[in-house]
Structure 1
Amino acid sequence: MRIAVLFFIAFTLGCSVAPYKKSKINGVSFVAARDAVDSSHVAPVVNVNANYAAIMPFGFIKNLKHPEIIHNTDRQWFGETRAGAEQYITELRKANINVMVKPQIWVWRGEFTGEITMTNEEDWQTLETSYTSFIIEYADMAEKVNAELFCIGTELESFIKHRPEYWSQLIKKIKSIYNGKLTYAANWDEFVRTPFWNQLDYIGVDAYFPVSDKETPSYEDCIEGWTSHKPILKQLSQALKKSILFTEYGYRSVDFSGKQPWLSDHTMKDVNLKAQVNATQALLDTFWGENWFAGGFIWKWFIMHDKVGGHDNTMFTPQNKPAQAVISKTYATFK
């Protein structure tokens, strides 16, 4: 009996001093494609130790002053539609991957969505009606598939600035049909001005913060680069009592990848795998251990894993690059 008691005490003490690591949202941004997915497309998500995937159906708009959003049509790729999003989620569920539904707008020629601005009241009202149709379509879907998270918009600062009351009312409409957690994907230089965080569950940030001007920033350079940004994120989180969620994060595998991480400029052609590794590792080490930080979604993760990325690729995806192992290791630690 005494031996059993001593064993119980030793076991209890051992557990009490063991380091506690809070589980995080270890996400991938699962890019919409032409085709349906199956287990072979989901297996690499599991293998990188992700526990979440962002599913991103798309709406399309002609230009920054056009008020009508085209969405869920037979002219879109399968993965960009409601049926495609539902099929992707069904396959991800089979592998126990949680889901954030993140409908996004694409402006023709890739113009920045944060600058969508109407020139008259009639067009503003048309845009509001169109956006409501778009976002409620996918809030309804998110409820039906029991998505854990729903993102109400991505990088729409001007729209929000000019029509704050609309957004407040939109959030109420979404909550009337969707019962999961809500966030918004604010651009890295927008989130401090977003007016409705108190109505949402997470402070969502697309984390393309500049961290180094160097051609190949070292890990230490990138850690230092975060010292001006991290306190602002922490302060906002603590002030609002809501966790920060990186709705997107990532770096291209190119020279100067930490200087302006949001750039997708195709003239940047010099591959630099080390720059991507150092910047990614620094971001993960800076945030994943913080109790006010919820996690994040790497940008981007393509469904055809064996055919994308690689050592000659300059774009964001970490697939089949050294950065993939960096992400996998951290995700395994915080599952």
Structure 2
Amino acid sequence: MQTVHGINFAPFSPRGALAGDAVRDELRRMHRLTGADTVIFCPGAVQATPFTETIDFTGAHTTADEELLAITRAAKDLGLRVFWKPTVNCLDGTWRAHISFFDHDVPCEPKWGPWFDGYTAFQTHFAALAQQAGIELLILGCEMTKTEHREEEWRACISSVRSVYDGAVAYNCDKYGEAFVPWWDAVDVMASSGYYPVDAIGENLDRIRPLVEKAAKPFFFAEAGCMRVRGSAQVPNDWTLQGEPDDEEQNRWYQALFAAMETRPWLRGAALWDWPLDAAHDNPYAFSRAPALQTIRSAWNREQK
């Protein structure tokens, strides 16, 4: 697998948001300013709560198929590799890692079976579309921590995806979760969310390396980022952190990330979080108008020479 210099672009965009010239202009701007060689699009599905069996991937919260295909073509025209990461989120704001049900069926309680049926339908829908679009890597979800022990269901889901899609398949576990996915052998690429404290990035990479070598799979960070908020560099995964705006906090974290990555060539890069649309460039994780942008561009320029 070629090293990833990537960005998650406008993740979980609602229907209609990725259509039009303005979005393609923003994609070109992202490419020009960062020097990225890969973009990840994240079509989102929704469920009401972490305990809801039904998943909606056809409504207003999900990018329309034709939009996704069009923005994918635009990215490929720029010379970008395109990965897709279909991801489910909870409408009540609960982080998707908490989606869970009883491990034994109980009458009148929600169950794993119907949920995995819906999740598999969601993933296979986008897998069939990914086959049509020629997507190089399909990432079957992100940070689904409390589902990962359901090995039989995950293997069946991956098998269903492979029945309609012949490209490479990956999964994006949460930070610190790399050792707890019992079905890594079923995917082609391992990925995690690299939101590690600024002074612990290297030690966590060193912790991950033996797992990757044992699995003999490529590994990259499908997400990695830090907010422009004082204190975020120590808890970059905490999107609820409140504090003073601090562009240099974010920049310092990115400098540490790239320094750690440059000495560990077994790590196949990272896809940064994130590049939003329009006024959302003010969101705390965005780096498009911050000093970290130059840090990112400089690091990728060095790596691509």
Where 1:138 maps in the other structure, the secondary structure is helix
1:91 and 2:74 correspond: yes
Q: How does 1:276-295 map to 2 (within 5 A)?
A: 276-295=250-269
User: Post-superposition shift, 1:27?
Assistant: 0.6
User: Post-superposition shift, 1:334?
Assistant: 2.5
Q: Aligned residue for 2:302?
A: 333
Kindly provide the CA deviation profile for residues 210-265 of structure 1, in whole angstroms up to 9, marking residues without a partner as x.
23xxxxxxxxxx3xx22431211111121111222101000001111122211111
Partners of 2:30 and 2:298 in 1: how far apart?
13
Contact preservation (8 Å) 1:25, 1:51: yes
Partners of 1:249 and 1:227 in 2: how far apart?
14
Distance 1:173 1:288, change over 3 A: farther
Distance 1:176 1:323, change over 3 A: same
Kindly provide the CA deviation profile for residues 190-221 of structure 1, in whole angstroms up to 9, marking residues without a partner as x.
1210111112122101111223xxxxxxxxxx
Q: Aligned residue for 1:164?
A: 151
Partners of 2:84 and 2:27 in 1: how far apart?
17
Contact preservation (8 Å) 1:271, 1:314: no
Q: Which amino acid aligns with 1:280?
A: Y
Partners of 1:102 and 1:55 in 2: how far apart?
6
Contact preservation (8 Å) 1:57, 1:103: yes
Kindly provide the CA deviation profile for residues 261-286 of structure 1, in whole angstroms up to 9, marking residues without a partner as x.
11111x61411111111111111121
Kindly provide the CA deviation profile for residues 132-187 of structure 1, in whole angstroms up to 9, marking residues without a partner as x.
110101111111101111001111121121x2101112112212221111111100
Q: Aligned residue for 1:234?
A: 209
User: Post-superposition shift, 1:323?
Assistant: 0.4
Q: Aligned residue for 1:40?
A: 25
Give percent identity, aligned residues only. 19
Partners of 1:90 and 1:110 in 2: how far apart?
32
Q: Aligned residue for 1:217?
A: none
Q: How does 1:89-128 map to 2 (within 5 A)?
A: 89-119=72-102, 121=105, 123-128=111-116
1:153 and 2:141 correspond: yes
User: Post-superposition shift, 1:56?
Assistant: 0.7
Distance 1:287 1:258, change over 3 A: same
Q: How does 1:285-324 map to 2 (within 5 A)?
A: 285-304=259-278, 307-309=279-281, 313=282, 315-324=284-293
Q: Aligned residue for 1:250?
A: 225
Kindly provide the CA deviation profile for residues 2-32 of structure 1, in whole angstroms up to 9, marking residues without a partner as x.
xxxxxxxxxxxxxxxxxxxx96211110112
Partners of 2:238 and 2:250 in 1: how far apart?
14
Q: Aligned residue for 2:174?
A: 187
Q: How does 1:201-212 map to 2 (within 5 A)?
A: 201-211=188-198
Distance 1:35 1:230, change over 3 A: closer
Instruction: Name stretches of at least 5 consecutive residues in structure 2 with no aligned partner.
Output: none
Where 2:163 maps in the other structure, the secondary structure is helix
Instruction: Name stretches of at least 5 consecutive residues in structure 1 with no aligned partner.
Output: 1-21, 212-221
Partners of 1:137 and 1:250 in 2: how far apart?
29
* TM-score with structure 1 setting the length: 0.82
Kindly provide the CA deviation profile for residues 43-64 of structure 1, in whole angstroms up to 9, marking residues without a partner as x.
1222110111111111100111
Partners of 2:117 and 2:188 in 1: how far apart?
25
Distance 1:37 1:232, change over 3 A: farther
Q: Which amino acid aligns with 1:242?
A: K
